[in-house]
Amino acid sequence: MLHFDYSWDLSPNRILLDEELNTDKLGYKHGDLFRFTNVNGRQMLVKVDPLEAFVRGYKVNERSNLD
């Protein structure tokens, strides 16, 4: 689904999402981890499965290599 008229604040340290974007509808929760990846030339954020994050020992807001 494409979304138009959203405002994004991009910086090297963060992506600030638009206030009107309801991430609850997507099932996102506080503490979810995402992997920045490139698939067929398209950059995307892919949600890391909570079990994978636990097994690998990732911690929320900790800088680590998710690959």
Q: What is the pLDDT of residue 65?
A: 52
- Tokens representing 31? 């503490």
User: ∠ CA 52-65-17 to the nearest 5 degrees?
Assistant: 80
Please report the pLDDT score of residue 41 as a whole number.
94
Give me the pLDDT at residue 31, please.
Answer: 83
The 8-class DSSP code of residue 49 comes to P
Residue 35: phi, psi to the nearest 5? -105, 130
Our CA angle for 48, 21, 41, nearest 5°, is 50
pLDDT of 66 > 70? The answer is: no
The reported pLDDT for the residue numbered 67 is 46
User: What is the predicted pLDDT for the residue at 21?
Assistant: 87
Q: What is the pLDDT of residues 5-63, one digit of tens each?
A: 888 898 998 889 999 888 888 899 888 888 889 999 999 999 988 888 788 887 765 55
